[in-house]
Amino acid sequence: MSTFLEQFSKSFTQINKDTLHALKSLYTTDVVFIDPLHQINGLETLTGYFEQMYENIDTITFMMHSHDEANDSEGYLRWRMRFSHPRLNSGRIIEVEGCSHIRWVDNKVYYHRDYFDAGAMLYEQLPIMGRVIAWLKRRLA
């Protein structure tokens, strides 16, 4: 297991609304962060994204499952995110499995791409849309 991946995942799971300043020790100033809903360029914009996220959610935690090193500057993290949002799933906890592809240089991440099911995280949790998606899934099964 990569010492970098192990340390990064440990540090990342410690991030919360009060420790966002720690992002600068994890990411380069020109970091590219991509997930199914966003593409963010730069540490300042990424910090703003996290600030906004923490303002809108009640709780969020990440549990890292595994770390796989592709080479000495690239790897993958498997994780589970647990969060609650007052307007999703009646405020109850939502769990989403995901994977992050990261690349780093000089012990900082310059590329972070998250892969997860955005439908399970967001769309299926909305009252009307969630029922429509559940109906479609049943019809397709």
Q: What is the pLDDT of residues 73-128, one digit of tens each?
A: 999 999 999 988 887 777 888 899 999 999 999 999 999 999 988 766 666 666 67
**How many Cα atoms within 13 Å fall on the side-chain side of residue 132?**
6
CATH code for the structural domain at 3-140: 3.10.450.50
Note the pLDDT of residue 63.
93
Q: What is the pTM of this model?
A: 0.84
Kindly tell me if the per-residue pLDDT of 1 is higher than 60.
Answer: no
Angstrom CA distances, 141 to 51, 96, 136, stand at 39, 21, 9
**How many Cα atoms within 13 Å fall on the side-chain side of residue 123?**
11
pLDDT digits (tens, 9 = 90+) for 15-50: 999 999 999 999 999 999 999 999 999 999 999 999
Note the pLDDT of residue 125.
65
Kindly tell me if the per-residue pLDDT of 9 is higher than 90.
Answer: yes
Note the pLDDT of residue 68.
87
Note the pLDDT of residue 90.
78
Share of the chain above pLDDT 70, in %: 90
Q: Give residue limits of the domains in the chain.
A: 3-140
